[in-house]
Structure 1
């Protein structure tokens, strides 16, 4: 069951594009007062420079304090202990120094050098799923058969999560991130998810393997609590498959609707890296990232904001800002401008960005080369509008 709610302006899209209202807001005042899905008032920041300023200043714009604000409807029955457990280990819910301590444990595992060690296995996983698609034959749901299982298997192997459990945790995470699902139901799913990860952490503590969970237990068992281990693993599992999966699905659709761009990605290896950056910028599948709370009086886009107010960011609008690059609404895979905020910016810049980039660099050309006549069968694919991460629920293709 879902609740009938109005989609907040920062989550509204017209296929791939943020709605015109967001562009008008960016070109006009640059900031506006909005109401969140939970009925709270917040300031929405839309310009690239202002968004980067907020993301780059964890001292004035706190992640931690916004998590401590009054509970949204449906969370009133959560105990203080449960709220503390929900925050433990979640890097997005902390400011320095707690954030610094937790991130320092994980950063060595997500360096570009470490990710390169995974490249052969990622290529194997991609080819295995393309082989399966080819054997089954068209039509195929690209989301279910390729975009979702590839990053899911990668993050499962990296973390030490049984891949046999994927259907269960994928369904849970999809509904957890769906803001139209009633809060009480999402809280129930959150408790289920935590119980599942608590079991995996307990097994790793009893006998640590060579995966990341095992490494954390062996090397940092005295530096982190069990609740923090559960929180770290839960965040990595959800973020590690949801984001890349939706980039692969939505990115493929974008390329199919721009065949000249698709041909460059398929046929020219030197175009792949710039194409990944351009797709990240142009699609901006994360609508806003984590809300912030001001720790002092601030001024953004000429607007005075008092201490203790909530600030949200319109990442798609920022990444389509003409101040970032010319003709920003055009998809042009040849430019590959770095510096976009699709992965955030500052201390909360996406830890898994090197892994996500590698998965996309491998998956997009492999898919397009295997099926050069790939095409969409439905006129209008099914977009997941109310989800924290924009994407497709299904993309039926043939070749």
Structure 2
């Protein structure tokens, strides 16, 4: 292997890390990797080291920093480098989180359960009516998180085809596609915010207009940026996690049988799925704003830092049989949602959507199985969100 191995690398299995990551993990917990543009950045692969560095005061999320590590051409756009929350440091970041946390709290998300259960039930009705083979990507994995976040934000669901397509291009398109799609989304959300300012209706956007924009706490453009992040993050990651989670269960019949024996094991199974599949390969892309000492390495101010959730979640130092999928394991702890102040705002909502969807599928279609070989499933993504484009099942 080269002194600084290439990153990212493409997966050959929907739920497993790229083959080359094994050597990267073995050389961790901290090492240098080479990005697409030839620049080098530090990568943290150890579980404990990931938690340590994600709370270090000298780690910055400021993507406008000239030395911020860009892991793919599509993330070079001005919009990608100035996103609310994601590209912010304290104290500004803390203010935004304080505004948003109550709307994604566990208490608030639990209130959404009946609505999410009704949405999922309706989609599974249509899957059964469709009959086998049925592609679970367009029939469930894509529309479920889209509909949920649309209702939560107050975004018209009739526009979901547009923002599903646009958000996919932002995360996985070429540099030109990503930049154009991001601007299209900004323009779309800008019109929504303008309408809400004129006449607030229902949903989180309207609430933030009343509580934060009109009093002057945040500006119009800031709310547009916040909504952009929420719309993309809530759709892309949950959609991919659901599809990859289904594949993982169907490809591990012993674990699937354990769930059929006792469906109350599902919450633990979801934590293991989150650890195992690592839908978002990176849980953090940062730049050092001051020197950092970690695991015997000296990271200098201005150097890029990547934190690999994929490898941290499979760290043999903290997980027994780290590469095994075991829904009964005790050590399901993971950093899939990040750690520290930037921990995923929507993690409670994501867990609930996964739980409700998997419960409905497993109890109503217990004989579900892949309709094609796993090697025939088209997968897309390297270094950001892993996505399966089709998921045909039969029963």
TM-score, L = length of structure 1? 0.90
Aligned partner of 1:382 among 375, 378, 383: 378
Match of 1:346 in 2: 340
Distance 1:164 1:310 in 2: 41
Distance 1:316 1:167 in 2: 30
**SS of equivalent residue, structure 2 residue 283:** coil
For structure 2, which runs of at least 5 residues remain unmatched after alignment? none
Aligned partner of 1:145 among 139, 163, 185: 139
Change (3 A) 1:35 1:87: closer
**SS of equivalent residue, structure 1 residue 24:** helix
| 8 Å Cα contact 2:371-2:394 kept in structure 1 | yes
Does residue 215 of structure 1 match 2:213?
A: no
Match of 1:177 in 2: 171
Change (3 A) 1:29 1:340: closer
**SS of equivalent residue, structure 1 residue 299:** strand
| 8 Å Cα contact 1:34-1:41 kept in structure 2 | yes
Distance 2:12 2:378 in 1: 13
Q: How does 1:153-302 map to 2 (within 5 A)?
A: 153-178=147-172, 181-221=173-213, 222-302=216-296
Distance 2:386 2:74 in 1: 24
| 8 Å Cα contact 2:76-2:175 kept in structure 1 | no
Question: Residues 38-71 of structure 1, C-alpha deviation per residue, up to 9 Å, x if partnerless?
Answer: 44321111111111112122x211001x432269
**SS of equivalent residue, structure 1 residue 293:** strand
Does residue 363 of structure 1 match 2:363?
A: no
Match of 2:59 in 1: 61
Match of 2:34 in 1: 35
Distance 1:143 1:336 in 2: 31
| 8 Å Cα contact 1:158-1:211 kept in structure 2 | yes
| 8 Å Cα contact 1:22-1:46 kept in structure 2 | no
Question: Residues 173-218 of structure 1, C-alpha deviation per residue, up to 9 Å, x if partnerless?
Answer: 111111xx33233211111111011111111111112200011011
Change (3 A) 1:296 1:70: closer
**SS of equivalent residue, structure 1 residue 171:** helix
Aligned residues: 384
| 8 Å Cα contact 1:287-1:389 kept in structure 2 | yes
| Mean Cα deviation higher: 26-35 or 164-173 | 26-35
Deviation at 1:29, TM superposition (A): 4.2
**SS of equivalent residue, structure 1 residue 44:** strand
Question: Residues 247-292 of structure 1, C-alpha deviation per residue, up to 9 Å, x if partnerless?
Answer: 1100000000111211233442320110010000001111113411
Calculate the aligned-residue CA RMSD, in Å: 2.2
| 8 Å Cα contact 1:243-1:389 kept in structure 2 | yes
